[in-house]
Amino acid sequence: MDAFTQHIGTAAPLRRSNVDTDQIIPAVYLKRVTRTGFEDGLFAAWRNDPAFVLNQPEYEGVSVLVAGPDFGTGSSREHAVWALMDYGFRVVVSSRFGDIFRGNSGKAGLLAALVEQDVVEKLWATIENDPGTKVTVDLEHKTLSAGDISAPFEIDDYTRYRLLNGLDDVGITLSHEADITAYEATRPAFKPATLPAKA
């Protein structure tokens, strides 16, 4: 994973709450067995609508998504994060995220920046007023700024640390393999095993 320290880019306002992962990428787009190429499924139902925000020419090339509360609720599909990243997003800003979505973002390298709802409202107003406004997201200092807005955002320390250093989780965990092996030796005998299969 590439390290993430700072990102500067234009943003799109998504004035909707409760954007669940079925909206971010409908199930029919989940059938690929590869890790990339999911941008075609991003917001698939809404992208047919010429009035949808991402279809507006002024929001071409955006890399920051400013969304309403409860973004990414619902299914655990990491494809939602991949679709956003494949489309070109690096940062999603919201006042509340679905838990699994936020976790998945951290793993895949998408920054899910948690802010107060009034910051979202101000960002929406600023971006809509001038879609060319650059948003600067500084992970080191946990701040974001755009026009005359400057606000802190929240992200848990551990995810921040991993993103800043571009660390791979499996690698970190395997450095504690001795702990895992020691734990395994203490597991009670009555715990079930899938093998050998019984019917």
How big is the CA angle at 35 (ends 33 and 36), to the nearest 5 degrees? Answer: 110
d(C-alpha 18, C-alpha 26), whole Å: 15
Count of all residues that appear for the chain in the document: 199
Using the minimum distance from each CB to other proteins, give the nearer residue, 68 or 131.
68
Q: Does 108 bind other proteins (CB under 8 A)?
A: yes
Q: Does 185 bind other proteins (CB under 8 A)?
A: no
**Binding residues for other proteins restricted to 113-132, rule: CB under 8 A:** none
Q: Which of 11, 64, 78, 153 binds other proteins (CB under 8 A)?
A: 78
Which among 116, 107, 78, 109 is positioned nearest to 91, based on CA atoms?
Answer: 109
Per-residue exposure over 24-41, b if at least 16 CB sit within 10 Å of its own CB, e if not: bbeeebbeeeeeeebbeb
Q: Does 54 bind other proteins (CB under 8 A)?
A: no
Binding site for other proteins (CB under 8 A): 16-18, 20, 22-23, 26-28, 30-35, 45, 68-70, 73-79, 81, 96, 98-100, 103-104, 107-108, 156-158, 169-170, 172-174, 176-177, 179-180, 183-184, 187-195, 197-199
